[in-house]
Amino acid sequence: MGIFPCVDGPHRFRGPATSLYPALVNGQEAVRWKLRMCSDHAASVLGRLEPYLVSMDDAAVVYQDDAKLCATCSRPVVDDSRQLYVTVYQPKHEREDYWAQIHLECGNPGWLPYVAA
């Protein structure tokens, strides 16, 4: 049973939590926070993050084509953007890393709960 409630609720849940560590980076400024989620709410967020999965193929980093789209509005990003990095630890899984860009004029993705650190 989760000792801490799911951040997207909040509600108590049975079983292990999924931990997400998002970071929004704009130039030299970075905001980081931790999310502890139940498996249902984590699955919803991970579904939205899926196009932004960074796969480590031997020593090379491979980005998916969708990584060039804004995580908030899904329009192409050319230059001016903030960076969204998310490290995910799911129960009984290896670490997963995600990287996306967000237009400077777009807000934070509504599907990613924001909890100021």
Would you kindly state where each structural domain of the chain is located, as residue ranges? 18-103
**Degrees to nearest 5, angle at CA 37 with 34 and 39:** 145
pTM given for the model? 0.85
| pLDDT (0 to 100) of residue 117 | 44
Query: In angstroms, rounded to a whole number, what is the distance separating the alpha carbons of residues 35 and 24?
Result: 14
Look up residue 87 and give its two tokens: 């490290």
Instruction: Write the pLDDT tens digit of every residue in 65-84.
Output: 666 889 999 899 887 789 99
Strand locations in the chain, DSSP E?
18-26, 29-32, 35-37, 53-57, 60-63, 81-89, 96-103
For 39-50, letters b (16+ CB in 10 Å) and e give bebbeebbeebe
| pLDDT (0 to 100) of residue 17 | 93
CB 45 within 8 A of CB 20: yes
Cis amide leading into 10 (omega within 30): yes
Instruction: Write the pLDDT tens digit of every residue in 33-70.
Output: 999 999 999 999 999 999 888 877 655 555 666 668 89
